[in-house]
């Protein structure tokens, strides 16, 4: 079995050297071409079927890179070949080309951005699960992103004076970028998909210089249940349990007993004079009947506690269906929120313009104001704005 074209990431170093020229020497790169990769990676018996590059950013700006090469082991020969490759990989004899690339890129990016960067905690692991072999390398690139207040920006560490150290992905490669917990996308380039908060790009594709530029914003945490902001305010121990709860419970019980007594006395009390006059016994000793048309005045029926008018009389006020509220009575913000609720909690801004027949300028200004108030989340994905209700996942999104 022959090996396919080398991975884009494994060829990045050669590309850097070709593009950099003398600039590569200033960044610490040798002017000569690097030594060829281990022969087994060029002409071995197994070849990777997929390479996944995962970039997970921490809130402090450090980035955890995980690069995984997957191999389908169809038979015993493939398994034996992979086992030999795995041993050499874990010893660091093969699979180190992209590590050198990242190290050189780190040196240049540190000078370009002015942030002190380092590559730490490099580890290698080879595994075989259900007929699939994996070579996984993990590392931490410190200060990869720029952190400022509640904002986290990725992008400048990809760019170098002579281009990007990640110019694209091969057909068997995938890039996954994931924000830290508690952050959401504020702006990002167009991606192939959006999965569980992560942006995903599938090869083959090329990245223009500056394309991989993503901004995340921290989601405001809800207030503390105890009302404190820093956890220093502590209620008096046992205050509620010792005396406040019994007092509140006793007052509630007394109120309930008073209500029951009132309803009982109202039901069992003396009859209404008007009812006694026409609904009791006539002067001649016979019982009067309300149903007989004898010319007497029909007695008024007593009003049941909490009851209303006869449902057949049409005087009972009908429950107002929330969906029947006249849109003209709603504010602009409420109309947008109702549109989002009817569309699963998410819509493109262009669709909101179409549904409301408002101008682009009005919708843009209204959504920005609602975003600042926390009533919606406004995410910039490529050239589109995706609008979601707070707490809603954007879901799959393709420009």
pLDDT digits (tens, 9 = 90+) for 381-391: 877 888 999 87
User: Stretch 5-26: mean pLDDT, rounded?
Assistant: 37
Range among 189-193, 212-216, 342-346 rated most confident: 212-216
Domain boundary among 156, 185, 218: 218
The bridge status of strand 183-188 relative to strand 214-218 is: antiparallel
Residue 173 lies in a domain: yes
Q: Are 211 and 346 contained in the same domain?
A: no
Name the 3-class secondary structure at 176.
Answer: strand
Flag the least confident range among 211-225, 245-259, 283-297, 366-380.
Answer: 283-297
Count Cβ atoms below 10 Å from residue 374 Cβ, excluding itself: 10
Residue 307 lies in a domain: no
Burial 248-274 (b: 16+ CB within 10 A, else e): eeeeeeeeeeeeeeeeeeeeeeeeeee
In this predicted structure, the answer to whether residue 341 has a pLDDT above a threshold of 60 is yes
Residue 315 lies in a domain: no
Q: Are 63 and 184 contained in the same domain?
A: yes
Residue that wins the pLDDT comparison between 17 and 115: 115
In this predicted structure, the answer to whether residue 228 has a pLDDT above a threshold of 80 is no
Residue 333 lies in a domain: yes
Give residue 282's region: left, alpha or beta (phi > 0; psi -120 to 50).
beta
Number of domains present in the structure of the chain: 2
Residue with tokens 């490529």: 382
Residue 111 lies in a domain: yes
Query: Please, which pLDDT band fits residue 89 given cuts at 50, 70 and 90?
Result: very high
Work out the angle at residue 193's Cα, subtended by the Cα atoms of residues 206 and 162, and round it to the nearest 5 degrees.
Answer: 25
Residue 260 lies in a domain: no
pLDDT at 360: 86
Q: How far apart are CA 213 and CA 18, in angstroms?
A: 24
* Domain CATH for 379: 1.10.10.10
- pTM of the predicted structure, to 2 decimals: 0.55
For residue 286, give every residue at least 6 positions away whose Cβ sits within 8 Å of its Cβ, in sequence order, or none. Answer: none
Q: Are 55 and 200 contained in the same domain?
A: yes
30, with CB counted inside 10 A (0-12, 13-18, 19+), is exposed
User: Stretch 230-251: mean pLDDT, rounded?
Assistant: 53
Flag the least confident range among 36-45, 118-127, 207-216, 287-296.
Answer: 36-45
Boundaries of domain holding 177: 8-218
- Angle between the N-to-C axes of helices 8-20 and 97-113, in degrees from 0 to 180, rounded to the nearest 10: 50
Query: Please, which pLDDT band fits residue 180 given cuts at 50, 70 and 90?
Result: very high
In this predicted structure, the answer to whether residue 70 has a pLDDT above a threshold of 70 is yes
Written in H, E and C, the secondary structure of 77-116 is HHHHHHHHHHHHHHCCCCCCHHHHHHHHHHHHHHHHHCCC
Q: Which residues pair with 54 in a beta bridge?
A: 66, 176
pLDDT digits (tens, 9 = 90+) for 182-204: 999 989 998 988 888 899 999 99
pLDDT at 248: 65
Residue that wins the pLDDT comparison between 141 and 10: 141
Residue 81 lies in a domain: yes
Residue 50 lies in a domain: yes
User: Stretch 328-357: mean pLDDT, rounded?
Assistant: 89
Q: Are 54 and 179 contained in the same domain?
A: yes
pLDDT at 140: 96
Domain boundary among 189, 218, 247: 218
**Torsion sign, CA atoms 358, 366, 195, 145:** positive
């Amino acid at each position: 079995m022959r090996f396919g074209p080398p991975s884009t990431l494994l060829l990045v170093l050669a590309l850097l050297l070709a593009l950099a020229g003398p600039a590569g020497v200033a960044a610490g790169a040798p002017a000569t071409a690097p030594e060829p990769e281990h022969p087994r990676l060029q002409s071995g018996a197994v070849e990777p079927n997929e390479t996944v590059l995962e970039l997970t950013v921490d809130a402090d700006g450090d980035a955890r890179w995980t690069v995984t090469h997957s191999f389908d082991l169809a038979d015993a020969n493939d398994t034996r070949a992979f086992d030999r490759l795995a041993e050499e990989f874990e010893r660091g004899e093969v699979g180190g080309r992209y590590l050198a690339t990242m190290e050189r890129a780190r040196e240049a990016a540190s000078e370009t951005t002015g942030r002190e960067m380092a590559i730490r905690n490099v580890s290698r692991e080879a595994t075989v699960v259900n007929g699939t072999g994996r070579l996984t390398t993990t590392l931490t690139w410190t200060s990869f992103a720029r952190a400022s207040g509640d904002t986290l920006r990725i992008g400048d560490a990809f760019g170098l004076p002579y281009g990007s150290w990640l110019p694209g992905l091969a057909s068997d490669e995938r890039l996954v970028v994931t924000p830290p917990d508690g952050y959401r996308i504020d702006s990002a380039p167009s991606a192939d998909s959006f999965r569980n908060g992560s942006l995903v790009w599938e090869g083959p594709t090329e990245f223009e210089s500056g394309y991989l530029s993503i901004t995340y914003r921290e989601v405001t945490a809800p207030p503390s249940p105890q009302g404190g902001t820093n956890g220093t305010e502590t209620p008096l121990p046992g205050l509620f349990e010792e005396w406040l709860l019994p007092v509140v419970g006793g007052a509630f019980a007394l109120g309930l007993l008073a209500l029951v007594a009132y309803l009982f006395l109202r039901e069992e009390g003396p009859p209404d004079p008007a009812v006694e006059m026409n609904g009791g016994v006539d002067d001649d000793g016979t019982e009067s009947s309300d149903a007989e048309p004898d010319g007497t005045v029909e007695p008024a029926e007593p009003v049941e506690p909490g009851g209303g008018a006869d449902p057949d009389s049409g005087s009972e006020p009908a429950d107002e269906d929330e969906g029947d509220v006249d849109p003209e009575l709603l504010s602009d913000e409420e109309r947008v929120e109702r549109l989002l609720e009817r569309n699963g909690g998410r819509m493109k801004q262009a669709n909101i313009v179409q549904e409301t027949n408002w101008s682009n300028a009005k919708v843009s200004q209204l959504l920005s104001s609602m975003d600042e108030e926390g009533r919606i989340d406004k995410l910039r994905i490529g050239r589109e704005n995706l609008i979601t209700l707070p707490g809603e996942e954007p879901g799959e999104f393709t420009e």
